[in-house]
Amino acid sequence: MRERAQEFFEELQDGICRGLETADGAARFREDAWERVGGGGGRTRVMVDGAVFEKAGVNFSAVHGDLPEAYAARIELGSGSSFFATGVSLVLHPRNPHVPTVHANFRYLEKGDAAWFGGGADLTPYYPVREDVVHFHRTLKDACDRHNADYYPRFKKWCDEYFFIRHREETRGVGGIFFDYLQGDLDALFAFVRDAGEAFLPAYAPIVEKRKSLPYTEREREFQLIRRGRYAEFNLVYDRGTIFGLETRGRTESILMSLPPLASWVYDYHPEPDTPEAEAWDYFRPHDWLDSTKN
């Protein structure tokens, strides 16, 4: 499974990068190949100052070795401290406030005698459009439903709970799916993770195409930077991938690739009533996006 998962994640990185370069239409990814002290390495690909993407990063890694004992004890599964981890993670920060930021991560891990899959994808719009949110969720649900009808409702709820900024009492965005510690039939789980990973571009690229040419104002750009500040807060305080990378002495530049190039923190910010910003804020709480009677 190590070899199969690693090969798939390398191919997934290649396919997603090709799709994003097509969507941007101008910029190309720069690749940095790196090795991890202690075992393994990866490929970090970053695209900056594109026609669409102000900053886009797509990482692949396959690392192994021994975890620090204190951190190993905090991982729920497996014995000892030896580990192997491979996966793809990406964060895309468009320049236009009408194009959502997006994150995805798909991974396979082993620790001692345990092995599992984790991952997911979630959308963070600044000025949400309901049809975009529904499309994103519907595409991910279709990938889930090919394997288990319980996956989407279970993983959608998990996503809402995980990407919740507790100190702000708001979600990071409009969710998607999130799953971790999936054990059991690894072949069946791998088939699901493949479908979920390959659903990313169909879920996101059509939204980019529809919104990337919309005009925007300086006010909308300022609101985007405020919401990016929330994104940074979550990644630095709560994100498991960030914590895992730092605790396992991964490559710092690759780990912090997820942070936006620009962000803003306005003291005691609240959107003005009856504005597009106030309307957007209503999206930053859990919704059943695929049931119009509940929204």
pLDDT digits (tens, 9 = 90+) for 126-158: 999 999 999 999 999 999 999 999 999 999 999
Model pLDDT, residue 277 = 96
Residue spans of alpha helices (H) in 25-167: 69-74, 130-145, 151-162
Long-range contacts of 20-26 (CB under 8 A, 24+ apart): 20/47, 20/53, 20/56, 20/58, 20/92, 21/47, 23/52, 23/205, 23/208, 23/209, 23/212, 24/50, 24/51, 24/52, 24/53, 24/56, 25/50, 25/51, 25/52, 26/50, 26/51, 26/52
- Average pLDDT value over all residues in the chain: 93
Check pLDDT > 90 for residue 38. no
Measured distance CA(93)–CA(256) in Å, rounded = 13
Measured distance CA(126)–CA(230) in Å, rounded = 11
SS3 state of residue 174: coil
Q: For 218-237, how does the pLDDT look when each residue is reduced to its tens digit (9 = 90+)?
A: 999 999 999 999 999 998 99
Model pLDDT, residue 56 = 97
Which residue type does 106 have? Answer: F
Mean pLDDT calculated for residue range 191-218: 98
| CATH number for the domain running over 2-294 | 3.40.1500.10
Alpha-carbon distances of 197 from 10, 47, 173, 187, rounded to whole Å = 12, 20, 20, 15
Better-predicted residue by pLDDT, 51 or 82: 51
Model pLDDT, residue 294 = 56
Q: Which one of 93, 103, 135, 137 is the catalytic residue?
A: 103
CB 72 within 8 A of CB 80: yes
Check pLDDT > 80 for residue 250. no
Model pLDDT, residue 258 = 85
Check pLDDT > 60 for residue 295. no
Confidence band for 110, pLDDT divided at 50, 70 and 90: very high
Q: Tokens representing 37?
A: 């002290």
Better-predicted residue by pLDDT, 254 or 143: 143
Q: Which residue, among 58, 57, 60, 56, has the nearest Cα to 42 in the 3D structure?
A: 60
Q: Which residue, among 138, 102, 128, 130, has the nearest Cα to 16 in the 3D structure?
A: 102
Model pLDDT, residue 45 = 96
Model pLDDT, residue 67 = 81
In 112-263 the beta strands, taken as DSSP E runs, fall at: 114-124, 164-165, 170-171, 175-182
Q: What percent of the chain has pLDDT over 70?
A: 99
Predicted structure pTM score = 0.94
103 catalytic? Reply is yes
